[in-house]
Amino acid sequence: MTPKSIGIIMDGNRRWAKEQGLPTLEGHRRGAKKLKEVIGWNKDAGVPHLTVYALSTENWNRPKEEVAYLLDLLYTFIKNELEEIKREGIRIYFPGDRERFPQNLQDLMNDTEKETEENEEHTLSIAMSYGGRAELVNATNELIKKGKEVTEEDIAKELWTSPLPDPDIIIRTGGERRLSGFLTWQSVYSELFFIDTYWPAFTREEFSSILKEYGERERRHGK
């Protein structure tokens, strides 16, 4: 059984860099390189949808130098690395509070989404300035403006990830055993996989092993 959607919390860049005797910022650069590899693995495995946690709402509180580097890295990744991804027919989304980003990065995200909106077979969502609670607050406020009685379907339509399906699998690298605000609403029936490997060291073998174990799990969705 192949999952339709996978979510990944890409954790451990800074700790990986420290163990390798490298600057923290190099860990983020290697993490971006790993993301491009994993996008390929996901497509090869026949998984239609991939969502990765690139920048949380809490990450804005990190040192200014690190935040500035992350923003530059995200801009460069979208501008350069995603060109190949777009040619492969993958639709790209950027769920999150994008108003917090510099205008040039907002424009690039908007343009990239528009340029790939005709692609339907595969999607890549890069969650940036994203937090599950912030997403739910935003959805609630949007529904309040509409002045209607709220249903679960209404909330789902207002989420930053709409219209993408909920993830069948969520993977977190780096050894932590929590979701840290990633896809809070969408993850209620996700199969969770927490691995100790830091994100830059994540291997294709580990990815394949997770897919294999997922196929062996019984998913009842509360039934």
Residue 135: C-alpha distances to residues 41, 127, 131, 161 (Å): 28, 11, 6, 9
3-state secondary structure 23-69: CHHHHHHHHHHHHHHHHHHHHHCCCCEEEEEEEECHHHHCCHHHHHH
The single-letter DSSP state of residue 100 is G
What span, in angstroms and rounded, lies between the C-alpha atoms of 221 and 78? 36
Q: What are phi and psi of 170, to 5 degrees?
A: -125, 125
Is 59 assigned a catalytic role?
Answer: yes
Residue 64: C-alpha distances to residues 59, 106, 126 (Å): 10, 19, 22
Out of 13, 42, 59, 141, pick the active-site residue.
59
Amino acid at site 38: V
Neighbour-count burial of 85, counting CB atoms closer than 10 A to its CB (0-12 exposed, 13-18 middle, 19+ buried): buried
Out of 11, 13, 42, 168, pick the active-site residue.
11
Active-site positions?
11, 59
